[in-house]
Structure 1
């Protein structure tokens, strides 16, 4: 294999601080996404001033910890919200709106694998510069309201977020900008376009 045959991955910045007036703090966060037809792989790199991982089980309120999120819509039937704490605890729902959701059962959550550069142990808030990475493998079965043979070639609408509602410096950053008065990631009209090549 020659050098040009290697996959070239471009990082996307999660840098839109849509509500900077009320929440001025903005950690450094970026992501990339690739797939192998059957599985979507996401990688996040984060550097922030404080960090927390108190949620101890999947399906919990991970957005209150140091959290990254990936929302994706394949059509007009709804969208999936994948949310991950910095130690890989996860939440998944298929939604028509923020308040109208079908949450993934345990057997679906168990198929989503993650690897963090942090120990897989809960901890209270820690202050001071922290850098961490999270890699996630999402099989096509996790898109439980759809039935895909392959992810290849699909056009999707998506957004990617960094948040920490329960931190000393709460923050709400997005890849694609959101134009609402208050923080609310459940805004599919502001998703950006992606294609699974």
Structure 2
């Protein structure tokens, strides 16, 4: 059974770089607010998430506002293990439904990024990185929320064959870690598209929606 295809329309703007990590630039009023997130595998209330995207002639811009006053960040070091054990937002991009390959960006509230290239059956290449000259990240932790803003060049998206007829197939996710009575932290997996899997799994073909770039 396949989920219904979800589409998010990305408005075009003429301004330059749109990110300051604070989420307070007026230009973001031109973006559609996406807040259709859920955790299909848990019967629990999740914090509000607001996702926005815009684009201009050079870059695709993303903004997450996650309303959470109890953020968990593992700062043991800056390793992928530390990032992977922290609250974060995630963007996946795939070349096609075969997931061969797809690209994963997982970003925590202090702008640390775990980026890797993947292939079917969770074959992850952690030695691969999104070109640093083609991505910029800014973030801020506020009293009620944290903000993550990302700018990605169209040059890199086209180089990785991720744009077809103004459509980018993307997964939009969040991982929320909650402290258990035993003292350990357990993740709640939150997604835009319900992949209709029995257990949490963002790494399958049913977890992706579509970003449509408006002219």
TM bracket, shorter-chain basis: 0.7 to 0.9
Cα distance between partner residues in 2 of 1:190 and 1:107: 21
Cα distance between partner residues in 2 of 1:98 and 1:88: 28
**Is the CA contact 2:117–2:129 (under 8 Å) kept in the aligned structure 1?**
no
SS at match of 1:17: coil
1:26 paired to 2:46? yes
Tell me how far 1:25 sits from its aligned partner: 4.3
**Is the CA contact 2:116–2:128 (under 8 Å) kept in the aligned structure 1?**
no
1:137 paired to 2:181? no
Alignment of 1:140-179 (within 5 A): 140=154, 142-143=156-157, 146=160, 153-164=165-176, 166-168=177-179, 170-179=187-196
SS at match of 2:84: helix
Tell me how far 1:105 sits from its aligned partner: 4.2
SS at match of 1:13: coil
Tell me how far 1:143 sits from its aligned partner: 4.6
2:56 to 15, 36, 41: 36
Cα distance between partner residues in 2 of 1:54 and 1:173: 19
SS at match of 2:203: coil
Cα distance between partner residues in 2 of 1:34 and 1:14: 18
SS at match of 2:72: strand
Which residue is equivalent to 2:83?
A: 62
Cα distance between partner residues in 1 of 2:130 and 2:49: 30
Q: Residue by residue, what CA displacement relative to the aligned partner does 1:110-134 show, whole Å, maximum 9, x if unpaired?
A: 6422111239xxxxxxxxx741111
Cα distance between partner residues in 2 of 1:25 and 1:170: 14
**Is the CA contact 1:60–1:91 (under 8 Å) kept in the aligned structure 2?**
no
Hey, which bits of structure 1, 4+ residues long, moved more than 3 A?
58-61, 103-107, 140-145
**Is the CA contact 1:60–1:90 (under 8 Å) kept in the aligned structure 2?**
no
Q: Residue by residue, what CA displacement relative to the aligned partner does 1:150-189 show, whole Å, maximum 9, x if unpaired?
A: x69521221211113x432631111111211111111222
Cα distance between partner residues in 1 of 2:191 and 2:78: 25
Closer, same or farther: CA 104–142 of 1 in aligned 2, 3 Å: farther
Q: Between Structure 1 and Structure 2, which shows a larger proportion of strand residues?
A: 1
Q: State the TM-score, normalized to the length of structure 2.
A: 0.69
5+ unaligned residues in a row in structure 1: which ranges? 120-128
5+ unaligned residues in a row in structure 2: which ranges? 1-13, 15-26, 180-185
Aligned length: 179
SS at match of 1:65: coil
